[in-house]
Amino acid sequence: MNAEETVLVTGAAGFIGSHVVERLLGEGRRVIGLDNFDDVYPRALKERNLAEVRRARPSGALTMVEGDAGDAALVSRLMREHRPAGVIHLGAKGGVRPSIEMPALYCRVNIESTAVMLEESRKCDACRRFVLASSSSVYGNAESAPFSETMDVSTPISPYAATKRACELMGATFSHLYKMPVASLRFFTVFGPRQRPSLAISMFLEKVSKGQPIPVFGDGSTSRDYTYIDDIVDGVLASYDRAPAHGCRVWNLGNSEPVTLTEMIATVARVVGREPVIDRRGAQPGDVERTFADLSRSRAELGYAPRVAFEEGVRRQWAWMNRCHA
């Protein structure tokens, strides 16, 4: 990547997006951040993410634009005015459970905005790479683990997962039609400072520290390959850098060390120094039993090497939450 490059980042005010923007600015890139400040969680938290980015990078060249990645006229104008060298498309509706309640909305937001971003990118002659956020949920309840990018992913078990697979396929289509390098990144449960408040680690740290009951779905044996945000950002930047050499490529960005729900709760309890109060509930439809990344391809092709162990990451997230509340 050349230092002068302009990168268009969607979902820039969100959890992963704000960290990606911070890293890009730190490397001297100009960033056009696009975010519609959706109502999945309070706008104030996204404003806080951006304030943290601006504090960390006071001289960074960040232009934030409030708007929708599915708004073709807006994206077309941004492409004309800023001529980004590439796009990192992270703006989407996350969350498995709400997608079961609102499948059509998830299709409209996630798939349509990806099609618009791809179409406006390919029409801009300056824009020569496209990175999009997929998810480990595309593996569904795969029978064997760890999950490798070559496995069959034709049986997602939630509308959210189906939209993410559709985005990957849309990326492959544009890559075929226009020779656009498209990297689809399968993120495995990302955590760390600025994590969405509805996600388990964030919510559990908050509730356990206050002695409030935590909702626990199933018997605690489900597992997740939790991945610390800094490691994810390393992978996003490496894929942006190397996408042109690979054309159309899917990469897993995980930690390859699954943690059971029971172990996760024990870690949270150790970190906050308080016994958890458990509100046991039935297993949730749409939730996969486990996630477990095979990192052979991303290690070999991206030099991806996650460094932050689970408990250390939870300690960093908790320290950040305490700083925010101070």
Residues that bind ligand NAD (CB under 6 A): 10-11, 13-17, 34-38, 40, 46, 68-70, 90-94, 109, 113, 133, 135, 187, 189-190, 196
Among left, alpha and beta (phi > 0; psi -120 to 50; other), residue 213 is: beta
CA proximity to 2, closest of 110, 134, 149, 128: 128
Rounded CA separation 248/170 (Å): 11
CA distances to 85, 125, 174, 200, 244 from 80, in Å: 12, 10, 20, 40, 22
Residue 316: which H helix or E strand, with range?
helix 310-325
Q: How far is the CB of 163 from ligand NAD (least distance, A)?
A: 9
3-state helix, strand, coil in the chain (%, to 5): 45, 20, 35
- 180 three-class SS: coil
Residue 28 or 197 with smaller CB distance to ligand NAD: 197
Q: How far is the CB of 167 from ligand NAD (least distance, A)?
A: 8
Q: How far is the CB of 16 from ligand NAD (least distance, A)?
A: 4
Residue 19 or 30 with smaller CB distance to ligand NAD: 19
Helix 261-272 to helix 200-209 angle (10° resolution) is 40
Residue 11 or 181 with smaller CB distance to ligand NAD: 11
- Phi, psi at residue 284, to the nearest 5°? -95, 130
Q: How far is the CB of 74 from ligand NAD (least distance, A)?
A: 10
Helix 229-246 to helix 15-26 angle (10° resolution) is 70
Residue 97 or 274 with smaller CB distance to ligand NAD: 97
Catalytic-residue membership of 41: no
What DSSP character marks residue 112? I
Q: How far is the CB of 71 from ligand NAD (least distance, A)?
A: 8
Measured at CB, which residue is nearest to ligand NAD?
14
Residue 105 or 277 with smaller CB distance to ligand NAD: 105
Residue 82: which H helix or E strand, with range?
helix 72-82
Residue 16 or 248 with smaller CB distance to ligand NAD: 16
Q: How far is the CB of 265 from ligand NAD (least distance, A)?
A: 18
CA distances to 7, 73, 147, 239, 287 from 88, in Å: 7, 19, 24, 10, 27
Catalytic residue among 139, 160, 226, 240: 160
The residues carrying an active-site annotation are: 160
